[in-house]
């Protein structure tokens, strides 16, 4: 049975992000925690700007969030490379450029109700929370769900997250202003389109298991949609009732 977790604490706009220097420890102020990564985050933001990311709120969130806490300790020194990294269960934390590009396409506004399909490490959810979104997230792997739930709780973010089939969306809280899918779909899941508000936007990578085009769908009216296609990416497969029926990678 799907499990829901409501994380009830959120930093205010005037409160600096606080996080745990050692995983599982009591929260410590960011001024005391892992300063060696601050310059790496700044350099990462500069790289993203060079690659065309212009949304200041996206860049600010990426510069703020300690990505090294979302990966295994053995991979911490690679956390600010612009590359995807494994997080277990055959899944990855997307490369920073991919996160930034998807989030920029979403055009998130403070207060927007955003559904994320594929919580994974929790990093994308953290970016959305930093941007002031009201976040709902679905993850199908229990191990990843539990890790992300606990880490996001440690950060003090307020969001709702559940274990379940993301290809079906989360109808209990629909409609959403924005929906982002962090895995590659064989087709656009129609259930997700139905859960958009009018003028809502869905960003989803669509294609085969080798390559996907980033697709942005805007709901114009009750029955009309506008579809745009952007660059190609390679994501892990979106598995579920309205996605891949099994892992196409074998």
Active site positions, annotated: 94
The Cα–Cα gap between 73 and 75 comes to 5
192 closest CA partner among 164, 170, 208, 214: 170
Per-residue CA distances from 92 to 53, 81, 96 (Å):
22, 14, 12
Q: Answer for the pair 116, 96: CB distance below 8 angstroms, yes or no.
A: no
Per-residue CA distances from 107 to 74, 170, 177, 179, 218 (Å):
34, 21, 10, 11, 11
Q: Where are the alpha helices (DSSP H) in the chain?
A: 38-50, 56-64, 96-106, 123-130, 142-155, 190-194
């Amino acid at each position: 049975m799907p499990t829901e977790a409501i994380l009830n604490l959120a930093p205010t706009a005037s409160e600096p992000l606080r996080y745990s220097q050692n995983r599982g420890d009591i929260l410590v102020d960011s001024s005391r925690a892992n300063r060696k990564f601050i310059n790496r985050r700044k350099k990462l933001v500069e790289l993203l700007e060079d690659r065309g990311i212009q949304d200041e709120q996206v860049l600010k969130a990426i510069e703020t969030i300690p990505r090294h806490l979302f990966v295994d300790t053995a991979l911490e020194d690679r956390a600010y490379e612009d590359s995807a990294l494994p997080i277990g269960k055959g899944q990855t934390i997307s490369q920073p450029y991919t996160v930034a590009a998807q989030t920029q396409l979403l055009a998130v506004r403070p207060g927007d109700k955003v559904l994320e399909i594929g919580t994974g490490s929790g990093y994308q959810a953290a970016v959305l929370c930093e941007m002031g979104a009201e976040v709902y997230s679905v993850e199908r792997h229990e191990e990843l769900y539990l890790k992300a739930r606990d880490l996001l709780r440690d950060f003090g973010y307020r969001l709702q997250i559940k274990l379940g089939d993301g290809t079906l969306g989360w109808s209990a809280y629909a409609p959403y202003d924005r929906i982002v899918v962090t895995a590659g779909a064989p087709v656009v899941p129609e259930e997700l389109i139905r859960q958009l508000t009018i003028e809502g936007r869905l960003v989803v990578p669509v294609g085969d298991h080798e390559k996907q085009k980033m697709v942005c769908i805007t709901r114009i009216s009750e029955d009309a949609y506008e579809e745009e296609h952007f660059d190609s990416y390679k994501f892990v497969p979106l598995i579920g009732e309205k996605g891949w029926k099994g892992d196409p990678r074998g």
